[in-house]
Structure 1
Amino acid sequence: MLPVPFALNPALPANAVEIAARAKGYAEQAQAENTRTAYASDWAIFEAWCAAHGVQSLPADPGTVLAFLVDTAGTLTVSTQRRRLAAIKSRLRAFGVTLDTAAEPFRSVWKGIRRAHGRPPVKKAPLMPMQLRRALGAVPPGLAGVRDRALLLVGFAGGLRRNELAQLEVLARPGADWVEDGPDGLTVHLARSKGDQEGEGQVIGIPPGVHRSTCPVRAWRAWLDVSGINAGPAFRSIDRHGRMGEDPLCAHSIALIVKRAAIAGELANGATQADAEAAAKKFAGHSLRRGLATSAARNKAPGHLIQKQLRHRKYDTTAGYIEEAQLHDENAASYAGL
């Protein structure tokens, strides 16, 4: 638990305790829920390490934190260590303790750890339109198949993150993410997202597809028609007997649906079961979002439109997707006359 962010002043009104408690709640809300969860876990690990080594965790001095990083170097990825360091600094800061990581020897040792153990991030492959079409063609019939078609196409065309897909509802509700069906296509209303932590709201347009078999609007309407859903979560669990539940799919289930569709598509293309499963390991829930960005960039879509659909706050993030997609198309070597 975080401390009350300010000391109670006798001059404050009678309900000062209540005000302080509310202030504490707002302080906790300064970070996204996923960040708070990850930081809490990281701090618990650091506390346990300190207890095992007979050193103090709160307040922790730079030497203790540095020893923790050195002890776990090479066994953890640098990105995990970086997050744990951020979690420790955040926790200490909440108690009025500033951890100085800029002074020596902390700065040099931490830099050395990053240089020695830094690795490129492992990125999931984009699910490209041809792969998506094969996957859709191999989706089995039935209620789950109709749901999966809608989920894959709406997720791809909307450039949605897997947690955003999981949270979609079919009707407007305060604080909910929902889909509006109109004459020009679908409009996805997001109350809050990774790129909108302050809840200003984001709106995403999904136009009809050129091809009937890959039209996200038709797929969405077909799913609502077959499922009979008229309120609540859009994408729900379905058991092996074809019975639909009331609860929304979780983000992990979204990733599994993408992988399952990828396997079906590879099998339909003549791959063996083993090869199909190996190929599907490259894909996850993010493959839909990356697939839209990559295919749009390869088809020369303007960068600002890709940024708008992906809702990146900074164009540099979008540029990373575009550079990867056009790695061979927009290349100086192609002008060398080889």
Structure 2
Amino acid sequence: MSTEVSLPAPTGLQAFADQARQYADQSRAANTRRAYASDVRAFANWCAARGEPSLPASPAAVLAYLIDHATTLKVVTLQRRLAAIREQHAAAGFDLETSSSAFRDTWRGIKRAHGQPAVKKRPLMTVDLRRAVATLPDTLPGRRDRALILVGFAAALRRSELAGLEVTRRDGAAWVEERPDGLVVHLARSKTDQSGEGAEIGVPYGSNMETCPVRSYRAWLNAAHLTEGPAFRPIDRHGHIGTEAVTDRAVARIVQRTVEAAALADGYSPEEARQLAAAYAGHSLRSGLATSAAANDAPGHAIQRQLRHKRFDTTSGYIRSGQLFKQNPAGMAGL
């Protein structure tokens, strides 16, 4: 969604006004901009079907839109659409009044009546990760998947970060540096670093050969003969390696496919294995590292540093999950 910026626009300043609009467009992540643009279009179509103006829209129309979709859209989606509508109005210089008690009370009622806890994907704990990667064959796709899963887990990467890694340094790209002590993942930009300051994440050698992210990554590069470009790439059924990077959705599919294979190896039926795998996603690597580390009493500040959280309370959610049974009062009650 384009963001309008008002600047004086005499002939000599027009170029700066155009640049200001371009920079304003970059103030949010690309995924957020696409989502907001889609949200605004959905609201405009709804208004057009009812003969209501969408810009500027009346608070009553916005509230009616929220009510009309309260049973068909999740509250988190409605919340994002409301934010998009507000931002569109502010960018266009319109004041959308949503602070009245009637609006606030109705919106609060919608959230209370239809709000649900977020459905979180299951963390891939270390013990489950070991079983999963053990099922991967010693083939080109198997080596790629092993390296992708282990590096993503050890570096606590988001799936988009993992998919975007490159073998060597390139301006504006995330890349992996090989050092004697392990790997260093250099991130150019991340979800919590929209200003692009970057971050360095250390990935040490694993204590087990089968689950060592450093050895697995190097084995994949050697097998694929990669010296530059994307680190993780598609491989077709003939064994040909692509030139582009895998997508972030491909990362999720690789995780799910590997978990499903492990479940089948453990004796699950095909249907049970599919259902179990569906509980995991790309984020399961990141949350799995945090939760597993917390279960093994890793310091909270170290977990926060690896996850690159700005706020510790975000990290503490993973720590609570990993330590549910650590010094649990119920376990000390003599039951």
For the residue of structure 2 that corresponds to 1:15, the secondary structure is helix
* Deviation sequence 1:182-239 (CA, Å, 0-9, x none): 0010000000000101001111000000001100000010011000010000000001
Residue 62 of structure 1: CA displacement? 1.0
Pick aligned residue for 1:110 from 107, 110, 128: 107
* Deviation sequence 1:251-301 (CA, Å, 0-9, x none): 000000000000111111121212111110100000001110110000010
Pick aligned residue for 1:207 from 198, 204, 208: 204
Q: Are positions 1:244 and 2:241 aligned together?
A: yes
CA distance in structure 2 between the partners assigned to 1:110 and 1:330 by the alignment: 41
CA distance in structure 1 between the partners assigned to 2:129 and 2:250 by the alignment: 18
For the residue of structure 1 that corresponds to 2:88, the secondary structure is helix
Counterpart amino acid of residue 168 in structure 1: L
What is residue 125 of structure 1 aligned with on the other side?
122
What is residue 59 of structure 1 aligned with on the other side?
56
Q: Figure out how many residues of one structure are paired with residues of the other and give that number.
A: 335
CA distance in structure 1 between the partners assigned to 2:22 and 2:7 by the alignment: 15
Percent of aligned positions with the same letter in both sequences? 54
C-alpha contact (below 8 Å) 1:266/1:276 kept by paired residues: yes
For the residue of structure 1 that corresponds to 2:251, the secondary structure is helix
Q: Are positions 1:271 and 2:268 aligned together?
A: yes
CA distance in structure 2 between the partners assigned to 1:3 and 1:307 by the alignment: 33
What is residue 232 of structure 2 aligned with on the other side?
235
Pick aligned residue for 2:157 from 141, 157, 160: 160
Pick aligned residue for 1:37 from 30, 34, 37: 34
* TM score, norm. by length of structure 2: 0.97
CA distance in structure 2 between the partners assigned to 1:300 and 1:173 by the alignment: 37
CA distance in structure 1 between the partners assigned to 2:55 and 2:178 by the alignment: 53
Range moving further from structure 2, 326-335 or 88-97: 326-335
Q: Are positions 1:218 and 2:215 aligned together?
A: yes
Structure-2 change in CA distance of 1:15 and 1:289 (3 Å): same
C-alpha contact (below 8 Å) 1:134/1:268 kept by paired residues: no
C-alpha contact (below 8 Å) 2:183/2:214 kept by paired residues: yes
What is residue 258 of structure 1 aligned with on the other side?
255
Q: Are positions 1:310 and 2:304 aligned together?
A: no
Q: Are positions 1:174 and 2:171 aligned together?
A: yes
Residue 241 of structure 1: CA displacement? 1.1
Residue 147 of structure 1: CA displacement? 0.3
Q: Are positions 1:5 and 2:5 aligned together?
A: yes
CA distance in structure 1 between the partners assigned to 2:133 and 2:156 by the alignment: 17
Structure-2 change in CA distance of 1:282 and 1:3 (3 Å): closer
Counterpart amino acid of residue 2 in structure 1: S
Residue 56 of structure 1: CA displacement? 0.6
Counterpart amino acid of residue 329 in structure 2: A
For the residue of structure 2 that corresponds to 1:247, the secondary structure is coil
* Deviation sequence 1:105-152 (CA, Å, 0-9, x none): 100000000000010100000111121111111112311111000000
Give RMSD over aligned pairs. 1.2
Range moving further from structure 2, 114-123 or 99-108: 99-108
Q: Structure 1 stretches of 5 or more lacking a match?
A: none
Q: Are positions 1:93 and 2:55 aligned together?
A: no
Counterpart amino acid of residue 228 in structure 1: H
* TM score, norm. by length of structure 1: 0.97
Counterpart amino acid of residue 16 in structure 1: L
CA distance in structure 2 between the partners assigned to 1:238 and 1:147 by the alignment: 9
C-alpha contact (below 8 Å) 2:3/2:88 kept by paired residues: no
C-alpha contact (below 8 Å) 2:4/2:92 kept by paired residues: no
C-alpha contact (below 8 Å) 1:4/1:20 kept by paired residues: no
For the residue of structure 2 that corresponds to 1:188, the secondary structure is strand
What is residue 191 of structure 1 aligned with on the other side?
188
Q: Are positions 1:71 and 2:59 aligned together?
A: no
Q: Are positions 1:292 and 2:280 aligned together?
A: no
CA distance in structure 1 between the partners assigned to 2:162 and 2:204 by the alignment: 17
CA distance in structure 2 between the partners assigned to 1:205 and 1:4 by the alignment: 41
